[in-house]
Amino acid sequence: MTELEAFRTEKNEFFEKHPQSPLTREQKKDFDGLNYFPENNALCLEVKVDEFPIKERFEMQTSTGNVQIYEKYGKFNFMVDGVKAELTIYQSEHGFFLPFADSLAGVETYPAGRYLEPELLPDGCFLVDFNVAYNPYCAYNEMWSCPIAPAENRLKVAVRAGEKLFYTRADH
């Protein structure tokens, strides 16, 4: 079992059994695991982020109509299937945050976007592994309030890595 497979298995167990799972009791009855794209090594990236000289305060809209405050940290460019893409990394007191939506949003991925927490590496680059991109809790239960990927982080290219749309056996 790969490290990613072990991570996904552990996450499925949390969602199915843990009292802090975002799933409702009803959803847990039909839960047979989250849906993922196959591991895509081409989308596990070490990127140089062009840090913004002035950290602009940014109000990110949430799924419940509220806002959460972040600072725009910097942006980076990368390639997906030969197409150039650019994303902005945000920062809060909780660390680095990378919300994004791809061209599959609403079809194969959650419409409001998926999340990553980029890891700052010792050399100043960031580890951005789209294989661990995940849905916010509001994708499973509307009682949660989750940031919506801002316009600047809505990609025109498909990111076929990480978590897909959530559904249970009862949805089919």
> Per residue in 111-127, pLDDT tens?
999 999 999 999 999 99
State how many domains the chain has: 1
**pLDDT tens, position by position, 10-66:** 999 999 999 999 999 999 988 999 999 999 999 999 999 999 999 999 999 999 999
Q: Global pTM?
A: 0.93
The parent domain of residue 41 ranges over 3-171
Backbone angles phi, psi at 124, to 5 degrees: 90, -10
Separation of alpha carbons 14 and 33, rounded Å: 10
Number of CB atoms found within 10 A of residue 47's CB: 18
